[in-house]
Structure 1
Amino acid sequence: MQLAEAQSNKPQIIKTHVAIIGGGPSGLLLGQLLSKKGIDNIIVERVSGEYVLGRIRAGILEQGLVSLLEEAGVSERMKCEGQVHNGFDIGYYGKKFHIDIKALTGGSTVMCYGQTEVTRDLMEARAASGLTTYYESSDVALHEVTTDTPYVTFTNNGQQMRIECDYIAGCDGFHGVSRQTIPEDKRTEHERVYPFGWLGLLSDTPPVADELIYCKTERGFALASMRSPTRSRYYIQVPLSDKVEDWSDEAFWEELKRRLPEDYAKRLVTGPSIEKSIAPLRSFVCEPMQWGNLFLVGDAAHIVPPTGAKGLNLAASDVATLYRLLTKAYQEGDKRAPERYSEIALRRVWHGERYSWWLSNMLHDFDEGQVGGMEKATFDSFMRSELDFYLNHYEGQQVIARQYVGMPYEDIA
């Protein structure tokens, strides 16, 4: 009996090139791209696939991410169902400004396609390729990450598992184990928590406009977005003290109408909510983004307020960088290439962080003393002047548009 118990507790050992911690879109995309290059990988995810698909997230994809999905061979449904956006509107105290990103950037656009759909496409492609994913895994731990023989241990379906690998990609989000594996005295964390949240409502109603509308009002920020021609996603700025239960559907729709420009408010189609939630806003960056042969990807290393639609897109640029560096290591024998990951990834991360912080400051309403101790009237005057300049000058609109479509990915020489 004791011998049988000892044998059942013996871990099952698996070998692979890259262990990926986290089965969200960044982990799935990295795995799909690596497999296309013949680089073996295994994904370990703590929750079920259904839970991952149930996460409600944004859906504006930069061209860089669109191109990565094409390279990964998972773009067919996106091309059929996604909506190309050539611009967006900013409602500024009731006045509308159209930011024509295509004209302002010399032809760049963005794609409206929900993150849930991106994840679903990647999951289906991974399953079709026969690639291994361990869902509902517990007790995940990373070991010996600063050596040439790192490994991952976890429990799956009662079986102890051990993955021996060359590299570990930490794609497990802000609360995952990957970042915590880096010793506290070896990482620097930059953080700003915003004093409000976004109350979001998803509904099966036609969008109020063909493109996004960002609204700056005396009542607070609002955003009109969409997931498809028949499904809409709307947000309003609320205090952090608010709870979802405080907001009936009717109260949400009435407040949204007050914040939308009048012509949009009149044609807004309302209906029952499919989902409502309040998302807190924060800016966060961990430096460095790697420790030995452990690489942090996406939310494991950085968080942005959703104002600039940069969260998934910054994760995608991390994936692009790591995938290309690992390809150089395996296909060209350049074993030192992955050492450049953090340096390259952080350059684009800070661009996205700054843009998201800047846009959030301009478009949201802050109470007195919430921005660097500045009085509310002074801060509002600064931000009004800032918006006046950028919205009323072609060069200012170019700055907004260039960053909205995304900075180009850095070449990996």
Structure 2
Amino acid sequence: MSRRVVITGIGVVAPGATGVKAFWELLTAGRTATRRISFFDPAPFRSQVAAECDFDPLAEGLSPQQARRMDRSAQLAVVSARECLRDSGLDLESFDPSRTGVVVGSAVGCTTGLEEEYVVVSDGGRRWLVDDEYAVPHLFGYLVPSSIPSEVAWEIGAEGPVSLVSTGCTSGLDSVGRAVELLREGSADIMVAGATDAPISPITLACFDAIRATTPRNDEPATASRPFDASRNGFVLGEGSAMFVLEEYEHARRRGAHMYAEVTGFASRSNAFHMTGLRPDGTEMAEAIVTAMDQSRITPADIDYVNAHGSGTLQNDRHETAAFKRSLGEDAYRVPVSGIKSMIGHSLGAIGSLEIAACALAVEHDVVPPTANLHQPDPVCDLDYVPLTAREGRFDTVLTVGSGFGGFQSAMVLRRPERSAR
């Protein structure tokens, strides 16, 4: 019998909300944090809106040296890791550091720092042969995404397994899934895991403009992210981080830890089909969902809530609607489904962890967040997508899914700990 794994601490930095309390209040109120980009002039780009974090590294407790050394993505990760440790009540000095590990997910790594430094060393792009004398001493750390989990490990003193997972937009699910595997196999007793991304930069906008994946609804930034709505026309780029303390169940019980949820199932699949395209039948996502349910020893009738990927693209929304019908059968029409990207945008690799946080809090508070901006449902997306207003109920078992470029499809089941089978 594999070891059970529970979430005992949560830390969040999200658009419109720094900290778990503010994050949950924003989601349950159905408020959107999308706006016109303020980090730079977005006028040259097709899509000019994003979900930005109001984040000041010094105000959040990082030292000037840390703020100078770390890319924004690492800053977000360290701040959210600090919060999840405080929330867990763990005193890491009383535990074996070799039994404590870190897994961080990120789709685009230190994009912000790399782009800023390229502008400097190339003299604004005018020099083909760049002058490295103008580069910051930590430029190599920006090039290597593994510098992000290294920063988190240094922060908490973790000397066990430390790694980065980069699987596109499923990174935030896959990183937590990897940490769960390490705990189950006995390689660690405590894992700090989650994801971070800070991709709001000119190069990222240009990339998504090229494939027309992001919305051009620049005159309505607050309502630009519209998952499952007939008027949707692309996703809204975001940023953020969510980190978790994950522990083996008995380890957490012995120290009297508060348990938000138990991770009972996780699976990932690839469609081996197309870098950005999806098969309309949702087969691969459905297979990941079924496998995650099988690991959890549950049936579709046990699912109380589904957190959708809900990116707000026609292809994705219809793909996962088909996946829910294929994997859950008639129960797909019963279970409430919602997408929080409608409020905090799509932070690429980070969003999967932010959605895990939302799911754990839904179990904790028996409330599920709504799908904001859903006024005219796509007739093909005919499930209960919880439009506009949060819903109260009993949510013991929740499913969260992710879909990423490259064909990645992931699913995770979280359950209220006292309801999980030993």
- Regarding TM over 0.5, the answer is no
Short-chain TM bin: under 0.3
TM-score after normalising by structure 2: 0.27
**Which structure is higher in RCO with an 8 Å CA cutoff and minimum separation 6?**
2
TM-score after normalising by structure 1: 0.27
| Structure with greater proportional strand content | 1
Which structure has the larger Rg over C-alpha atoms?
1
